[in-house]
Structure 1
Amino acid sequence: MTIMPGAEPISLDGSEVGVVLCHGYPSTPQSMRGWAEHLAAAGYSVRVPRLPGMGTRWQDLNATGWQDWYGELEIAYEQLARRCGTIFAAGLSMGGLLATKLAQEKPALAGLVLANPIFAHNHPALRVLPMLRYVLPSLGGIIGDIKKPETVELGYNRNPLRSMYSQTLLWKIVVDDLPQLNLPILLFTSLEDHVVPALSWQTFLNRVGSDDLTHLVLENSYHVATLDNDAELIFEESVRFIERLTPRD
């Protein structure tokens, strides 16, 4: 199995405050590298796993499901837990969905940062996806929704339908348990997003139980905001969020 150059997982060691970052679907850690390096420069330990089936061939992704992706994120969390006393989770798009699942399963998490997370979608094709996945391996890709010129997201130009169906199953699982999620949350959503509709973050805000939630709108970025014009805002506000919630000596 050959991994795309630049798609490798990221591991950066710093203080005893850690951040596990999760990339989206069908993307790679490349979309999170700037965020990871900014957090590391602020002194934090960072892990960005490469989710199973991603960063190789799109056909590999069709042999995986949400349990595989979540399992890899959980491994990264456990790695950080062995060296860090305080851990935050963050994610972009489906990575935000998985990071939210991690927060639901790991009550010790200190906070959650989400950038254009996916919790729901209203695309008409989703109605036939349960059957379509058996007769059609993939559809056109969904990566690269970036406003900033000449900026590339490393990922697949196909959307494998079996793995996409698995992702939709996780939407319901996570959304059903959102009322019990009450840790501090920082949410970024792009004013213009061609991949994830406003229905997604509206569903999240309507269901989540947290009373410590900050919602910031990104006015100059599309879906892949961590590679777009507002990336620095995401990075800087994330550090401020972590600083606010990190115990001081």
Structure 2
Amino acid sequence: MTNENIMPGAEPFFFAGNDIGVLVSHGFTGTPQSMRYLGEQIHAAGYTVMGPRLAGHGVSPAAMAKTGAADWIASIEEAMNQLRQTCKQIYMVGLSMGGTLTLYTAAKHPGVIQGAVTINAVVRVGSPGMAAVAYDRTAPDTVPGIGSDIKAPDVEELAYKEVPVTAFREAYALAAVTHDLLPTIACPALVITAREDHVVDPTNGPLIAQRLGSSRIELSWLDDSYHVATLDNDKLRIAQQVVAFIRSIAGQ
């Protein structure tokens, strides 16, 4: 979609392991950088891990403005299909909009995704201010970015400093669509939510857990992290929970 160079540190990653594949997705305006530590920890447990870069991300806001939800979904499905070539089971983990994409993918590919983990995922934006901007023809092309909401000192997320309104509109729609798909999701789910999040309303966690159609649903609260929890004080705890969750289903 663009000939521009990828931002240093925003590169996708792939760690070869056993035949259990784990697809990890970063969030809106972010990059694989926010998921690399988690990916490394999952790989250390023996699993094959893929962290794709969503279309339009990790390049420039102008590049992102040329993409939408269908492109981000395509990025995930491409990575999922690559994992399926060598892995017999596929699990997915996502942060923020990556969590939304995790839920969407679990709903659309029920025979593929064996377990879903969301970290501060959004299915209801719940912001009148953002809603007012989404379809306002007089709104500016971009609004201030939402990245790097992290409690730990001296830690920064690699994310855009400004957000194209067109892309935000797409994210809004993706959240709404995914919200309505939640009852169709049947795979086991682990819903991880920070109690203090300045980007996504923490009520999204219980909302997701309540609406999922899964027979196994775990809701876990984080007490020492903000929105980008995979880079925050609870990052090791998250990794341990994710590995334990996958192991409990995969049996290895």
**Fold match, TM over 0.5?**
yes
Matched, 1:68 2:60: no
- Which residue pairs with 2:24 in the alignment? 21
Q: Secondary structure at the match of 1:128?
A: helix
RMSD: 1.2
Equivalent residue for 1:163, pick from 158, 164, 167: 167
Deviation at 1:21, TM superposition (A): 0.4
Equivalent residue for 2:216, pick from 212, 216, 219: 212
Q: TM-score, normalised by structure 2?
A: 0.95
Q: Does the Cα contact within 8 Å between 2:104 and 2:181 map onto a contact in 1?
A: no
- Which residue pairs with 1:234 in the alignment? 238
1:214 is matched by which residue type in structure 2? E
CA distance in 2, matches of 1:77, 1:152: 28
Equivalent residue for 2:151, pick from 138, 142, 147: 147
Q: Does the Cα contact within 8 Å between 2:194 and 2:225 map onto a contact in 1?
A: yes
CA distance in 2, matches of 1:19, 1:155: 23
CA distance in 2, matches of 1:65, 1:183: 27
CA distance in 2, matches of 1:133, 1:46: 41
Structure 1 pair 61–188 and aligned structure 2 pair: CA distance change class (3 A): same
Deviation at 1:175, TM superposition (A): 1.1
1:57 is matched by which residue type in structure 2? S
Q: TM-score, normalised by structure 1?
A: 0.96
Deviation at 1:100, TM superposition (A): 0.8
User: Any residues of structure 2 matched to 1:1-249 within 5 Å, and which?
Assistant: 1-107=4-110, 108-132=112-136, 135-247=139-251
Q: Where does structure 1 differ by over 3 angstroms across 4 or more consecutive aligned residues? A: none
1:111 is matched by which residue type in structure 2? G
CA distance in 2, matches of 1:33, 1:133: 38
Q: Secondary structure at the match of 1:111?
A: strand
Q: Deviations over 1:157-198 (max 9, x none)?
A: 112110000111111211112111111011110010000002
Structure 1 pair 139–41 and aligned structure 2 pair: CA distance change class (3 A): same
Q: Deviations over 1:196-219 (max 9, x none)?
A: 002322331232111201111100
Where structure 2 has 5 or more consecutive residues not aligned to the other structure, the ranges are none
Identity over aligned pairs, percent: 38
